[in-house]
Amino acid sequence: MRHVVVISTGGTIASRWQGDGYAAEAAGQEVLAAGAVPEGVDVSVVDLFTVNSSRLTTAHQLRLLHAVHEALADPGVDGVVVTHGTDTLEESAFFLDLFHDDHRPVVLTGAQKPLDAEDGDAAGNLYDALLTAASGRDIGAVIVFGGQVYAARGTVKKHTVDAHAFGDPDGLPLGRLEFGRVSWGRRRPRPAALPMPAPGVTGPRVDILTHHSDADAVLLNAALAAGARGLVVAGTGAGNANPEIADAVRRAVADGVLVLISTRVPAGAVAPLYTGGGAVDLVAAGARLAGSLRPAQARIAVLAALLATPGGEDPGQTLEAVLRATPQALRASELYLVDGVGH
């Protein structure tokens, strides 16, 4: 028998109709009872919290991180499954993966339809997650959804309500679930895990700001005034903003704030190609480029770097180590043109 711990956190997979909308309310045992458990797998359940994942906070994610590590402290446990809402599942999965230093897998799953839906996807996703947790090794934290296994890093929610909700816009799944087994594709190298945050630590404020036409530094300055220790700028195109934003970034970095540049574009890496407030100027101002991390996971990278370096160490170096494990941004010299179009 393989022993898997299921940590229940709420989400649609634990939701029922409340009269005017759905909300998470079911306990982990109720979620587990909605479907079958793979043969040869023994399950124990931990009810950690029950919330819609749009309400998730860093405090929730730190509780989840420590709960996973407590479960894996038992050598009789072969893997962990986390049932989670899909809204912020990509954030929690990447957060867990950055601190994961164990050959046993942590598998996050959820559902797009509520627990009591006749045509729901909860039972199938949970079955696949249990199978992956019982058999996978050296894969870190992964997302299992719609019959696919995805690495946490780079995977995002790509559709609001479709059953095949997740994907990596710049990569392929790690594996596929078919006929009661996992078929694995190419394995990805695992970066070194970050040091675990101490129990009871309070997460620092890290904000995301989206660039757009007419954007100015008002919201960026407001985030700094609110105490942000990290910022993610979701730039246009390959990670661009304007001179006013670049100047505000320069001042923030001078004050010790970590600034990471991502993009609001669904696929592709950020690249230092343009001046006039573009990524070239943002890098010159002291910001770092997020590679192919989308804004929500870029924020988790900054948050984790700050949590992993609470003392006198430089969190910027920790962030650089996290970013080195992602596909990197193109250098301007690597850009080539086909029919006058950059690729």
Pinpoint the residues of the chain covered by CATH 3.40.50.1170: 2-184
Query: What local confidence, expressed as pLDDT, does residue 340 receive?
Result: 41
Q: What is the pLDDT of residues 300-311, one digit of tens each?
A: 999 999 999 987
Would you name the residues annotated as active-site residues?
Answer: 12, 86
Instruction: Taking each helix axis as running N to C, give the angle between helix 89-98 and helix 295-308, from 0 to 180 degrees, rounded to the nearest 10.
Output: 30
* Residue 333, annotated as binding a ligand: no
144 CB burial (10 A radius; 0-12, 13-18, 19+): buried
pLDDT band, residue 329 (cuts 50/70/90): low
**Residue closest to 15 by CA, chosen among 129, 113, 145, 107:** 113
Q: Say whether pLDDT at 330 is over 90.
A: no
Annotated binding-site residue? 53:
yes
Angle between helices 243-254 and 218-225 (to 10 degrees): 20
Q: Are 85 and 9 in contact (CB under 8 A)?
A: yes
The predicted pLDDT at position 188 comes to 79
Q: Give the confidence band of 336 by pLDDT, cuts at 50, 70, 90.
A: very low
- Provide the pLDDT for residue 60: 98
206-334 in CATH: which number?
A: 3.40.50.40
Q: How far apart are CA 231 and CA 217, in angstroms?
A: 12
318 is in an annotated binding site: no
pLDDT at 331 over 80: no
pLDDT at res. 334: 55
pTM of the model: 0.94
Query: What average pLDDT does range 78-90 have in this prediction?
Result: 98
Please name the residue that has the structure tokens 């990569």: 171
Q: For the chain, what is the HEC assignment?
A: CEEEEEEEEECHHHEEECCCCEEECCCHHHHHHCCCCCCCEEEEEEEEEEECHHHCCHHHHHHHHHHHHHHHCCCCCCEEEEECCCCCHHHHHHHHHHCCCCCCCEEEECCCCCCCCCCCCHHHHHHHHHHHHHHCCCCCEEEEECCEEEECCCCEECCCCCCCCEECCCCCCCEEEECCEEEECCCCCCCCCCCCCCCCCCCCCEEEEECCCCCCCHHHHHHHHCCCCEEEEEEECCCECCHHHHHHHHHHHHCCCEEEEEECCCCCCCCCCCCCCCHHHHHHCCCEECCCCCHHHHHHHHHHHHHHCCCCCCHHHHHHHHHHCCCCCCCHHHCCEECCEEC
- Residue 342: the pLDDT is 42
Q: Could you tell me the fold of the domain covering 2-184? A: Rossmann fold (3.40.50)
pLDDT in tens, 104-158: 999 999 999 999 898 999 999 999 999 999 999 999 999 999 999 999 999 999 9
Confidence tier at 293 by pLDDT (50, 70, 90): very high
Residue 343: what pLDDT?
39
Residue 307 has a pLDDT of 97
